[in-house]
Amino acid sequence: MPSLWQDLWGEARVAAVGLAFGDACALCQALRVSAAVPALCESCVEALPRLDEPRCAVCGEWFVGHIRGPFRCTNCADRRYAFEFATAPLQARHGARDLIHRFKYERQLWLVETLGTLLAGALAGPRADSRLAGEDWVLVPVPLHPRRLREREFNQALELAEVVGRLTGHPVVEGLRRTRYTTGQASLVRHDRLDNLRGAFRMRRSWPWRRGGRGLVAGRSVLLVDDVFTTGATTHECARVLRKDGGAKRVVALTLARG
């Protein structure tokens, strides 16, 4: 369960949202905001591009049309991922994309409560993914390389994981570290993306810090947390290290949006 310190810190961050936006919605500036999602009005919450069915049971890619039952998309048909499946509550479009961009690149850090609340909805609530139910999860954020962390000054995956952990009671474990600064993935083909990330992640040492190490993920079910899932290359490499070197029982990717 969340500690008193976590509760107070969470309340302080919610208050920061109020100071930043007052009673106005962060997307449409309407003067009445939702009671469930900080800084958004009910209309904007409902208008967010939800990642509903039909979607690939592995990578979460959304499809248009009538497809009955679980299916594996053609992009995943010939792949063996180290993670079990990927899930997200939103598509990376429209209002969701705008909020993520403002949080991640424009340093509107107060939006983490809004985004973290939406992400926690994948674990609990009416839109929760039933595949995540009944498991004692450990939340592991995808790490940034120290150089990128210095540039950005915060890790968006860790910030989101902390909110989800406080809202759901699942512990946050910084079990991974990024040891190699990689080139951009966008211009690479699928095979080269995987090669580009090979050896880029390591488990943190397992001596008794507050977080981190094999001892905290060995035999555990891990939710690998990030902001957006795109090709799955980063997620696959992180999951491979968590299972091979960390001894994780299973790894599922949980992101705010599917790109």
Query: How many Å separate Cα 167 from the centre of its chain?
Result: 14
User: H helices within the chain, ranges in order?
Assistant: 4-21, 42-47, 94-104, 112-120, 146-152, 156-168, 190-197, 214-217, 233-244
How distant, in Å, are the alpha carbons of 81, 104, 119 from that of 77?
A: 11, 32, 27
Q: Which domains does the chain have, with CATH numbers?
A: 50-258 (3.40.50.2020)
Alpha-carbon distances of 36 from 120, 125, 204, 229, 235, rounded to whole Å: 12, 11, 36, 25, 29
Residue range 113-126, pLDDT digits in tens: 999 999 999 999 99
Q: Which amino acid is at 186?
A: A
Query: 91 Cβ partners below 8 Å, 6+ apart?
Result: 49, 50, 51, 62, 257, 258
pLDDT of residue 210 exceeding 80: no
Q: Which residue has the higher pLDDT, 217 or 196?
A: 217
pLDDT value at residue 199: 84
pLDDT of res. 117: 97
- Stronger pLDDT, 3 or 62, i.e. the higher one: 62
- pLDDT of residue 14 exceeding 80: no
Mean pLDDT of the 70-91 span:
92
Do 140 and 175 touch, CB atoms closer than 8 A? yes
Instruction: Label residue 1 by pLDDT band (50, 70, 90).
Output: very low
62: tokens are: 């959304």
φ/ψ region of 186 (left if φ > 0, alpha if ψ in -120 to 50, else beta) reads alpha
In this prediction, residue 25 carries a pLDDT of: 94
pLDDT in tens, 223-232: 999 999 998 9
167-201 pLDDT, tens digit per residue, is 999 999 999 999 988 765 555 555 556 667 888 99
Contact 204, 213 (CB under 8 A): yes
What is the per-residue pLDDT for 21?
Answer: 47
